[in-house]
Amino acid sequence: MIIPTLIVQQTFEEIDLSIQRKPVTIQNEQFLAESLAIVEAAQKKNIVIRVLGGFAIYIHSDKCPECRMLQLGLGRLGAGKPPFTDLDLAGYNKQWNDIKSLFEKDCKLKPDRMVNALFGGNRLVYFHPTSNFPIDVFFDKLEFSHDVTFGEFKKNGRLELDYPTLDLADLVLEKLQIHQINKKDLIDILVLLLGHELTMEFKPDCIDAGYISGVLSDDWGFWYDATNNLKSTAELGMQFVNEQKIPQESWKIMKQRLDQLNQIIAEREKTPKWKIREKVGTKKPWFTEVGDI
């Protein structure tokens, strides 16, 4: 995309508030209240917005105090650092104008004008007006190492499956799609598996392993990274057990569900597309390179 020089000059002083992005510095309960206020404001206007990322897992662990304790206590971002960096949201592209209007006029969020000018079709970036934490909005899908699709508004959309977060299966896929996965994402997977049972179809407050295996059975590259990430999750879980950071009883639940998910993925019939790509293997890139905005 070519950006007119005049626009660059006009926005240079306010360019990249994203450069100033800092982890969330307010208390978790305040962050939760302010985040939910945005989602609830959208809900009242029939605008579909859902929370994703590590904070969505924290929200969805409201019935599992141990899950929240582990997610906060295992040092997602490092010892002594805040557990969350920003608020990630998902929405539908067909409601783009409604979302932008809601955020800027009703919620008084501060837009990152340069980022929104460059990437606004797929992603918008804002900052909270008082707490100043970053807010990222992704439309229709996440496009990182592998795509995690949310469908389309009033067609095959998945955002309405849960509230105020993404469906649990999509939260799992969001973590498994990362090619170079890190500690915080592995911790999030462990927390999800501790707090939620696996099912083979959609069921509230459960992880739809049938949907996860279906997505992976059609995309060899996604499958390859996801299954490797599950192995890394098990390895980190064992490390935490040996360090006495995860109780044996909790690890027993996590490991059982990890094994169950691996088995479901392995036994799912693969599509012709998957089988053709398998023959190529890692001789060609199987993931998308991801850079900063």
Contact present, 186 and 240 (Cβ < 8 Å): no
Give the range of the structural domain holding residue 85, as residue numbers without chain letter.
25-279
The reply to whether 4 falls in a domain is no
Could you report the per-residue pLDDT of 91-129, keeping only the tens digit for each? 999 999 999 999 999 999 999 999 899 887 889 999 999
Token readout for 272 is 């012709």
Q: Where are the alpha helices (DSSP H) in the chain?
A: 5-11, 28-44, 53-60, 65-73, 96-101, 113-119, 168-176, 183-195, 209-216, 220-242, 248-267, 272-280
The reply to whether 37 falls in a domain is yes
The reply to whether 210 falls in a domain is yes
Residues 239 and 64: their CA atoms lie apart, in Å, by 22
Q: Return the residue matching tokens 């949907």.
A: 211
Contact present, 102 and 111 (Cβ < 8 Å): no
The reply to whether 262 falls in a domain is yes
The reply to whether 289 falls in a domain is no
pTM over 0.85, yes/no:
yes
- Domains held by the chain: number: 1
Contact present, 146 and 225 (Cβ < 8 Å): yes
The reply to whether 153 falls in a domain is yes
The reply to whether 12 falls in a domain is no
Q: Return the residue matching tokens 């890394």.
A: 232
Could you report the per-residue pLDDT of 41-88, keeping only the tens digit for each? 999 999 999 999 999 999 999 999 999 999 999 988 877 788 898 999
Is the model's pLDDT at 177 over the cut of 50?
yes
The reply to whether 9 falls in a domain is no
Residue-level pLDDT at 18:
42
